Structure 1
Amino acid sequence: MTVSSLGRLVRRLRLARALTIEQLAEASGVSVRAIGDMERGRSTKPRHGTVAALMQGLRLGEAEAEELFLAARADRSDKAADVPAPTAHFAPLPRGIRDFVGREDELRVLGNLIEEGTRSGAGRAGAAPPLPPVAVVSGVPGSGKTTLALRLAEERRSDFPDGAFFIDLRGLEDRPPTPDETVVRLLNAWGVDDAQVGRLTSEERLALYQSTAAGLRAVLVLDNAGHEAQVRALLPAEGRMLVVVTSRRPLAGLSGVHRLALGTLARSESTALLRAVVADGRVDADPDAAARVAVLCGHLPLALRVAANWAATRSGWTLGRLADRLADEDRRMDALSAGDLGVASAFHLSYSRLAPETARVFRLLSLIPGGDFGIPYAAVLAETSAVEAENRLEELLEAGLLMTSVGDRYRFHDLLRLYGRARSRDTDDEATSVAAAARLRGWLLDTVAAAAQVATGGVEAPERGDSTASPEHFRTREQALEWLRAESDNWLSALRREAEQQNPGRVVVIAFAVEAVCNSWISWGNWSEVFALGARSAEATGDLDAQAGCLSMLAWVHWQCHRRHEEALEAATSALAIASACGSLGRQAEAYMYLGWLRDVVNDVVSAVEDIAQAMDLFLRAGDTRRYLQAANMNITVLRKAGRGQEAIETHHAVMGSLAQLPGGVHDPRYAVTVRISRYHVAFVYLNEGRWEEAAEVLAGLEQSYADSGFHLATTKIYLYRGHCLAHLGLAAEAEGDYRAVLGLGDSAPVDLREEARAGLAGLSAGALPSRTAFE
């Protein structure tokens, strides 16, 4: 029983019932990731409960259930330990190559580097800390740089208790990720709160990245770097993290790194690779033919693996026949040479033996813009079912023309993507490719709109049959947000292309669809591009109202996500001018609200009060109660800062009065946030005026709402300041309860506020009142 026997059996049983992985997950209760990992051989030693759930979900008869049970038991006895799940959600380690051979000297060099880092970490007291180890692995395309890095991370997992992380820098693309975008992704992977990351400047994020990296014993693989600038800022300055950078270039501009140049495989290693993949004695039966195959593949691991996978699926072929076919292939793909090593003949041999529909899917997949993709992409491009698409993808995987990615996803090697595009140009008419690309864009953008609707609390429309052109469907907010994040490279590329194709109306629709998603994903570095595209597209259609709306969102993004105050102010000012020109009261109010917010953040409170008052008036005239209340809450804050406490109190009463007139009143859950914010901020007016009874009244019961939303600082202040109020009112027992509640929050409460609570308790014992004179 081989490691993958259980996975193959699960997949065969699933496909026999025409189930997708998602459908089996729903029927069995086993997660999509667990089933995908099992089918790919990543998950071994399945628990009895998991196997039983799969039996039930697959509705197995007695014979098939027995077969699955025996396969699972064999896998449990064959393996000594589970293959761990990915360490992090946003930068997990892809699956490596199980039949890895060769590169022993290179692995030894990298292993020595790990040992040096370990010894350096326990260096002499008082000595300057050494730099963490960094290895740059360079070599020609297809030489196995990524595979070597993954092998190292897998073999030495015990040296990295904090995990292994992988980032594809996509260095050959037109728009590779910037260092700041990579920093954000890694901070998210390391568990730093997204909202916290989003509020920091690029410099602050980099500082946080360095301090976090310094405390991790982990390995970080920065794959496919195009140039030094992509990685320089990502190299840790302290600590024991090992960084492995792979690149086609040696990155000579980086200092203090260890360089390892990968050449082609030695003859013996090439033979070993062929033997490991073919694995049926044919390599040893004809060593001369095996040597010819290795030479014709240029001893290049990628070409050898593609050719070997092809031979492994054709047990009737001798290695000599394979060598003859490699020698006879045409040279139409010489552009895919790596140095002087032609690899196209190996690719073409496997490609030419694909079933026509599988070959068509291969060509279509090369149109996908992002780094990796899932089954639905193939289904949309080929206009087929998800089950049929998965069959084609697995055939390509078995032929060595695709690689696996994290979870139930696939990816191309750069050379194979280029090969697929070349085959598409040679085989398919332009109209077919254009139509397929447009179909994929349409599906991606429709799914963005559907995901955004669910992610922001909307209810998605019922599923429309089994059409592959229908967007994905999401059951939960978390599932929708996960899709938007995972597919962001692909759907942003689709949005850009839609703008280039002069379809501005579609771009505007998507910009407004994702408007409310920003709050849930502040750290994504591309929101400004989304809303800039939206504004330009709205201008192209002559829709001034939409243009003003996109510019207002751009103002929000410039400051909230990037801390670019001047750009934000310029965008909001432009939004106001355009909204005024078209007479849109709602857009004018929105622009004034953002202008007031932007002036408040730089303490220009006088101007902020005027702008927000304008916004409140315009929202009322436009009949927009929800945003009138939002602006009113902002006004309470700026009036308090401006020393106009009575006006802030009057605004609070106006908010409560407006809510009381609505059908649900002040207890309508749709306005719970409005009530919470208004009460919280007016409390500070009462506190600073020494109006203890009124302050205690508006703070009463407010702590739970803030605690449920994860606002620990506000929760702490509510308990502490209400305790001060109660102490001043002579309610010592109640005050003591609030002070102890602060201490009960533990580390989630700031240290200085916990100390103030302890002082409050001491004051109660001594009969002294709290001494705080200013509340912020």
Structure 2
Amino acid sequence: MWTDDPAGGTAQGQERPEFRVLGPFEVLVHGRPLDLGGPRIRTLLALLIANAGRVISVDTMASALWDVDATPGTPRTVRTYMSRLRRSLAPGAALGGGDLIETRAAGYALRLEPALLDAREFERLVTAGRTALAADPVTAADRLSRALALWRGDAYEDFSGTAALLAETRRLQALRLGALQDRIDADLATGAGEALIGELTALSDRHPGHERLWGQLMTALYRAGRQADALDTFARARVVLVERFGLDPTPRLTGLHHRILDNDPRLFPPSPSRPVTGRPAGTIRNDLPGDIADFTGREPELSRLLSARDGVVHTAPTAVVIEAIDGMAGIGKTTLAIHAAHRLAGHYRDAQLFIDLHGHTSGQAPITPAAALDTLLRALGVAADRIPLEPDARAALWRAELAGRSVVVVLDNAADAAQVRPLLPGSPGTLLLITSRRRLVGLEAAHILSLDVLPEATAVALFSGIVADDRPAAEAAAVRDVVALCGHLPLAIRIAAARLRTRPAWTVAHLADRLRQAGRPLAELSAGDRSVAAAFALSYEHLDEAGQRMFRLLGLNPGPDIDVPAAAALAAVAPAEAERLLESLVDDHLLQQPATGRFRFHDLVRQHAQATALADEPAPARTAALRRLVGFHLHTGHRGSRLLDQQHPPIDVGEPPPGCVPAPLPDDTAAMTWFDGNHQCVLAARQAAEDAGWDTWVWQLAWTLDNFHYRRGHLQANITSWLAGLAAAERLGDVAVQARAHRRLGLVYGPFGMPAEALPHLNRSLALAGEIGDTLGQAGVHFVLALHWTNEKDDERALEHATSAQELYGVLDDGKWEARAFALIGACLSRLGRHEEARSHAESGLALCRESNDVYGQADALDSLAAIARETGHHGEALEQSRRALSLWRHLDNTYRQAGTLAAMGDAHQAQGHPDQALEAWHQALDLYRAGNLHPAADEIEKRAANAEG
């Protein structure tokens, strides 16, 4: 929800679905985006949102989706899309109360509360701001700023080519520009001037036909003491209006011109404490550094800071409003604080103070609180002989001097809460803005505002505005590459843009190539005395010894993130100590915490950590740390894989490296949770082992991942892992592992739609297992060969291999795998028309699996019995068996096999003449196959659904 105003309607916060069209299109439920499906479904929903409450005909939808008139098949296709859209919106509909999409005789309509759509909330706030503009400009500025903060880009920007949305897009863009001008009027009415010049210069350049902007810019320039510039602006405006638009300036603009010529005191708003006698007296202290003309983005954060003035005005008499802005080096904390202070200057007419506390300044110790108080008191005009020597007395005098005054104070670059605490005001009327690289959680009275990197659209706008020529517009894709390589970090973007601006011969693509070169990004991101690496180095230098070591070692982590147990293994410390160090790095903004218990670097900070590790961590220590981390993933993953399927032939992974303690996994649910959270980390550990030449660990990690990959349908990842494992086994000369790797590759290639690649691996595995007398391995290969020939529709060969597998498992007295083989034989016999034999084998397999509590085998046998029932025309029985199998697959959290069972259920529903239920089952299967990137299986299901719909 976007409003905390009781007048804004519903106020249930994140318990309701949110629809966002003022920028990248998204629907949020519980603050998380819904997966809406493909581009046409997204376009359909956008069309419904733009016409919320109104009926849209099928013909209109068809025209928007395909740019053609309706055809005989169009209504059916639109209904199909609408069905999928309803499924996608199901969580939101449940929270929002009923079905959001209503079917009408003439088409469809979206039932949507205005407060759930950012565009409608924007319009409500704009109306409230305009209503308050004349009587209460402070409130007006607040409402309008909140409205504008809802924009994250252009309206419906994902659908720029959709003609049906063009009128609504233009309407909203026009409202945005009008609201922006209203907000500037509100700021001008409260005394702002100089702080608006950069913004108004850019706006008048972008919208030269809007005379109101020219007038606002002239007013701001005059208030800043730049009368000549204000008059020159009028001359430029007159030329632009006449030559480009054929219009003479209106009497309002020419009247403003004359008032500026006459130094009209009414161009300054009245101050509550001073009469209007011309320009404000020169006694007002303003220590703020100059505002940045190209300030870009940060609308939500800026809106929050600007609304902080309400706290000063409306809070209890003893309240103090403190905004503590924190974030990593180069994130733009100081820039935001100064920009906000300039925007707020008109509300704090007694003084605008600024002091750099040097919490992170190269070659300079942080300023002591006593020294800072001395500087601040002198800035308020306190004579030197009145300033006490004792720090507590200075703090008391500071609070006394602020009492009754209207002052905004920026305390920049604070080291910690202890440095700032003596500088806090004691009475209302003062707004304190603090910036720090460390999260100042010790300031109980402060409102914490943590800055993140810029969204892509804002990062692109910042880069383009600094370059200030035609190259960014001509190379839009390269610009996106550059800001991504800069990690969307404002400092990095500014430096990169400044380098391009001073090198007219460079293209944006050339700059991107330079940034891409290995080891070069941080070296490239320096200009003059500004350097991203130097900014990070200062943060690193302020860590204690243990924190510096953890930071360096984290630079060795090959994975995208890390959890506490893995970090403990990496650093060979207890988990509690690892968590303390990780949380401290988060507080220092050298590490991010995207989810509870998981930690990751910003890309550029990762590069700095890697460079620091190479420079400061001895090579033996680096190797030992990486072995502990890889060993952690191997041993934890091995335990997890054994829990997922205890029938999987085990391997011996030895003992963990010294200092490495694997994570405890009590059951298969915990194992799946661990694999889901650490999948990419284990893959990265396998790659790191391969790069380091640790071949035994390479194939063992492939084995470790195998069960999880199969359950989740991560077949491409499994192929990659086992190819690496096979190569490692060949380097080791380990024939048994080679046979295992060939067998697993043969198993995975089939469902991935590559049977030609599968068969050579299976034949080689069978040969190698025979060479070393591995009966269990031979049985396994026959089992997989049966699956292969089943996929190839050669049921005779499939039966032959299934029977061989069953016989070999019987020789080995391996009852569980023999039971699974019985079920496989049953499926083969059924397809050959030998239904009674098939049922007997499948039921025998099910009984044996139940005796041994083999849940996986039971589900497999139930799938076989369902297939037999379908083959014999008993579709009700087939559905019942499939439902039982599906329940077990879900219990095992095996999404790959769930998809297969759902596909079979769709077939049974279709045979029973229930197309809606068939489509529902197929679509569920389709979603699971797509989630696992199993495109051949997904394509097959999509064909079935399309045929049923057609």
Query: With structure 1 as the length reference, what TM-score do the two structures score?
Result: 0.50
State the match for 1:432 in structure 2: 621
**SS of match in other structure, 2:420:** coil
Aligned equivalent of 2:776, options 572, 575, 586: 586
**SS of match in other structure, 1:599:** helix
Q: Note closer, same or farther for the CA distance 1:130–1:295 as it changes in structure 2 (3 Å cut).
A: farther
Matching of residue 411 in structure 1 with residue 600 in structure 2: yes
State the match for 2:638 in structure 1: 449
Matching of residue 512 in structure 1 with residue 703 in structure 2: yes
Gaps of 5+ in 2: 5-10, 19-26, 33-44, 68-87, 93-115, 120-157, 166-291, 303-331, 346-350, 364-409, 424-432, 438-490, 492-519, 891-897, 924-950
Matching of residue 550 in structure 1 with residue 741 in structure 2: yes
Shift of 1:351: 1.8
2:420 aligned partner, one-letter code = S
State the match for 2:885 in structure 1: 706
1:368 aligned partner, one-letter code = N
Structure 2: distance between partners of 1:358 and 1:117: 52
May I ask how many residue pairs the two structures share in their alignment? 490
Q: Note closer, same or farther for the CA distance 1:293–1:453 as it changes in structure 2 (3 Å cut).
A: closer
Shift of 1:701: 8.9
Shift of 1:673: 6.0
State the match for 2:563 in structure 1: 374
Q: Which has the higher contact order (CA 8 A, sep 6+)?
A: 1
CA contact (8 A) 2:357 2:415 kept: no
Aligned equivalent of 2:810, options 614, 617, 620: 620
**SS of match in other structure, 2:728:** helix
**SS of match in other structure, 1:568:** helix
CA contact (8 A) 2:354 2:412 kept: no
Structure 2: distance between partners of 1:333 and 1:666: 57
Shift of 1:571: 1.9
**SS of match in other structure, 2:413:** helix
Shift of 1:288: 7.7
State the match for 1:35 in structure 2: none
Q: Note closer, same or farther for the CA distance 1:434–1:306 as it changes in structure 2 (3 Å cut).
A: farther
Shift of 1:473: 0.9
Matching of residue 129 in structure 1 with residue 72 in structure 2: no
Deviations 1:318-371 (A, max 9, x none): 99xx99xx9xxxxx9971625664223322222222112111111111111222
2:703 aligned partner, one-letter code = F
State the match for 1:357 in structure 2: 546
Q: Note closer, same or farther for the CA distance 1:707–1:588 as it changes in structure 2 (3 Å cut).
A: closer
State the match for 2:177 in structure 1: none
Q: Note closer, same or farther for the CA distance 1:443–1:82 as it changes in structure 2 (3 Å cut).
A: farther
Deviations 1:220-272 (A, max 9, x none): xxxxxxxxxxxxxx9999999xxxxxxxxxxxxxxxxxxxxx99747998645
Structure 1: distance between partners of 2:867 and 2:802: 19
Listed as ranges, the matches of 1:675-754 within 5 Å are 681=864, 705-706=884-885, 708-709=887-888
State the match for 1:55 in structure 2: none
Percent sequence identity is 20
CA contact (8 A) 1:309 1:399 kept: no
State the match for 1:256 in structure 2: none
Shift of 1:381: 2.6
Listed as ranges, the matches of 1:21-420 within 5 Å are 119=50, 125=60, 128-129=63-64, 265=295, 271=334, 273-274=336-337, 287=354, 308=413, 310=415, 314-315=419-420, 335=523, 337=525, 341-420=530-609
Shift of 1:526: 1.0
Shift of 1:484: 0.9
Listed as ranges, the matches of 1:492-507 within 5 Å are 492-507=683-698
Q: Which moved more, 1:269-278 or 1:489-498?
A: 269-278
Q: Note closer, same or farther for the CA distance 1:130–1:648 as it changes in structure 2 (3 Å cut).
A: closer
**SS of match in other structure, 1:371:** coil
State the match for 1:565 in structure 2: 755
1:598 aligned partner, one-letter code = H
State the match for 1:206 in structure 2: none
**SS of match in other structure, 1:670:** coil
**SS of match in other structure, 1:404:** strand
Query: With structure 2 as the length reference, what TM-score do the two structures score?
Result: 0.42
1:706 aligned partner, one-letter code = A
Structure 2: distance between partners of 1:288 and 1:452: 57
Matching of residue 642 in structure 1 with residue 832 in structure 2: yes
Structure 1: distance between partners of 2:729 and 2:619: 30
CA contact (8 A) 1:552 1:594 kept: yes
Deviations 1:595-636 (A, max 9, x none): 221121121223222332333333333333322332232222
2:523 aligned partner, one-letter code = A
State the match for 1:48 in structure 2: none
Shift of 1:471: 0.7
Q: Note closer, same or farther for the CA distance 1:678–1:315 as it changes in structure 2 (3 Å cut).
A: closer
**SS of match in other structure, 2:543:** coil
CA contact (8 A) 1:511 1:534 kept: yes
Structure 1: distance between partners of 2:359 and 2:868: 85
2:748 aligned partner, one-letter code = V
Q: Note closer, same or farther for the CA distance 1:163–1:650 as it changes in structure 2 (3 Å cut).
A: closer
CA contact (8 A) 1:307 1:350 kept: no
Deviations 1:356-401 (A, max 9, x none): 2111111111111222222233322332222222222232222222
Gaps of 5+ in 1: 1-44, 46-79, 97-113, 133-159, 165-215, 220-233, 241-261, 297-304, 327-331, 660-664, 725-738, 752-776
Whose Rg is larger? 2
